[in-house]
Amino acid sequence: MTIKWFPGHMGKALEQIQELIKRIDVVIEVLDARLPYSSANHKLFEMKRTKPWIKVLNKHDLADPAVTKAWIKEMELQEGVRALPLSAQKHSDTKPLIKLCQTLAPRRGKPGLPVRTMIVGIPNVGKSTLINTLAGKRMAKTGDKPAITTTTQLIDLHNGVVLNDTPGVLWPDMSDQDGAYRLAASGAIGANAMDSTEVGFYAGEYLLKRYPEMLLKRYGLETLPPTPHDLLLAVGRRLGCLAGGGEVNMNRTAEAFLREMRSGKIGRISLEEPNDHLPVEFSAEIE
């Protein structure tokens, strides 16, 4: 199944962001630390111009720490880019973000001249959670489904920084189906736009190659299943995802397997590494 998902409001959101960025001092792009390249909207970065750009690697507590460290090193080779790993739900993790914004806009942050920031990112990557944590209260809607925020809103943090929240926007070009499947595995793609079983097989194949020991430990397996199909059969039996006659319900199993992976129950997993199946132009950009 080819994954295609670009809700209509996202096209309008890109136009709003392009106009808004002209009046912004610092752009904060929230990425999923487990897939920093695939969770980036590269149309947004084309609007960068000379603006300082902070790439926040959210959900870093779910990602492979060694891989996250490699991503930060690569990203900070880009001109004007700083990378910061954090968990958007932890207030202690978000404090350095405010300090970094103030550092990158030293002429702002004074009474009457707040640092004007804009938070951008794909759906369900944690933008609204980050805003609520920074504000210390519920200012933006959150949820476990993509596309919660659909309009822009201005939020004053009352610490010399104002935030412009924007709707989540996916990269309209979904020709990179590996990236699309990684997004689906992470939970960024709407359920109606994907086949959970196929995405479960995709994730299973990747974990069999990169994190076999985690699979063995999580599901109490003595030997590693040879194929993603066999893996999901074993997972389905272990989790009790059975249909009539005791057969494994593959769709229920895939959904359960993806939930376990997304929540970190399997372990700290990164779904891509720098220059791992990435387009040549990105490799050239960060070298």
| Domain CATH number, residue 232 | 1.10.1580.10
* 150 and 257 fall within a common domain: no
* 94 and 152 fall within a common domain: yes
pLDDT at 35: 95
Tell me: pLDDT of 25 over 90.
Answer: yes
In angstroms, the CA 217 to CA 205 distance is 17
**pLDDT, mean over the chain:** 84
pTM of the model: 0.84
Decide: residue 282, CB within 10 A, 0-12 exposed, 13-18 middle, 19+ buried: middle
Q: What is residue 147's three-state secondary structure? A: coil
Tell me: pLDDT of 257 over 60.
Answer: yes
Q: Looking at the domain assignment, is residue 151 inside a domain? A: yes
In angstroms, the CA 177 to CA 194 distance is 12
* 134 and 57 fall within a common domain: yes
Tell me: pLDDT of 273 over 90.
Answer: yes
Our count of domains for the chain comes to: 2
The residue that leads in pLDDT, 136 or 75, is: 75
Q: Looking at the domain assignment, is residue 244 inside a domain? A: yes
Q: Looking at the domain assignment, is residue 270 inside a domain? A: no
Summarised one tens digit per residue, pLDDT across range 161-220 is 999 887 666 554 566 788 889 989 998 887 777 899 999 999 999 999 999 999 999 999
Quick one: what percent of the chain has pLDDT higher than 90? 53
Tell me: pLDDT of 144 over 60.
Answer: no
The residue that leads in pLDDT, 20 or 9, is: 20
* 158 and 41 fall within a common domain: yes
| Domain CATH number, residue 17 | 3.40.50.300
Residues in the chain: 287
pLDDT at 169: 67
Q: What is residue 85's three-state secondary structure? A: strand
* 22 and 133 fall within a common domain: yes
* 210 and 163 fall within a common domain: no
Q: Looking at the domain assignment, is residue 107 inside a domain? A: yes
* 28 and 169 fall within a common domain: yes
Print the domain residue range for 219: 195-263
* 19 and 149 fall within a common domain: yes
Average pLDDT over residues 102-130: 88
